[in-house]
Amino acid sequence: MEVLVYLVPLALALGFVGLLGFLWSLKSGQYDDLDGAAWRAVADDEPNGPSTPGPTSANGPARL
């Protein structure tokens, strides 16, 4: 029974580490998009195709 004095705090400490882990994941925004996250897991990670530079002309304000 003496062993409980070590084991119980150890078990609690492990649980606490898990809680800290959850709080960290919440803080880093991993729960902001649950629908997306569900699909990202099964998405095919294709490497990006050839990059096509688009036009970069800036449109100024319309003039009357």
Partner 1 sequence: MQADIDFSHYLKRTGAGLLQLDLAVEGINCASCMGKIERNLSSIPDVTSARVNLTDHRLALEWKAGALDPALFVKRLAELGYRAYPFQRNNAETLETERARSLLRRLSVAAFAAMNVMMLSIPVWSGNVSDMLPEQRDFFHWLSALIVLPAAAYSAQPFLSSAFAALRARRANMDVPISIGILLALATSLIETIGHAEHTYFDAAIMLIAFLLAGRYLDQNMRRRTRAFASNLAALKAETAAKFISPTEIRTVPAAAIKPGDIVLLRPGECCTVDGNVIEGRSEVDQSLITGETLPAIATPGSAVFAGTLVRSGTLRVRATAASGDTLLAEVSRLLDHALQARSRYLRLAERASRLYAPIVHATAFLTMLGWLASGATFHDSVVTAIAVLIITCPCALGLAIPAVQTVASGALFRSGVLLNAGDAIERIAGVNRVIFDKTGTLTLPELDVANLASIPDDVVKLAGRLALSSRHPVAAAVARAAGASEPLADIEEEPGRGVQGYYEGAPIRLGRPSFCGADILADEVLCRDPEASVVAFSHGGAKHVFAVRQRMRPDAAEVVAGLARLGIMVEIVSGDREPAVRRAAETLGIHKWRANVSPVDKVARIESLTSRSYKVLMVGDGLNDAPALAAAHASMSPVTATHMSQAVADAVFLGERLGPVMTAVSGSRRALLLMRQNLWLAVVYNVLAVPVAIAGLVTPLIAAAAMSASSVLVMLNALRARTREAV
Helix (H) or strand (E) holding 10: helix 4-27
Q: Does 8 bind partner 1 (CB under 8 A)?
A: yes
Residue for token digits 């990202």?
A: 40
- Two tokens, residue 58: 């800036």
Output phi, psi for 3, to 5 deg. -65, -25
Residue for token digits 């492990």?
A: 14
Q: Does 2 bind partner 1 (CB under 8 A)?
A: no
Q: Does 15 bind partner 1 (CB under 8 A)?
A: yes
At closest approach, how far in Å is the CB of 53 from partner 1?
6
- Two tokens, residue 53: 């530079």
Q: Does 50 bind partner 1 (CB under 8 A)?
A: yes
* Residues at the site binding partner 1, with contacts judged by CB under 8 A: 1, 4, 8, 11-12, 15-16, 18-19, 22-23, 26, 31-36, 39-40, 42-44, 46, 48-59, 61-64
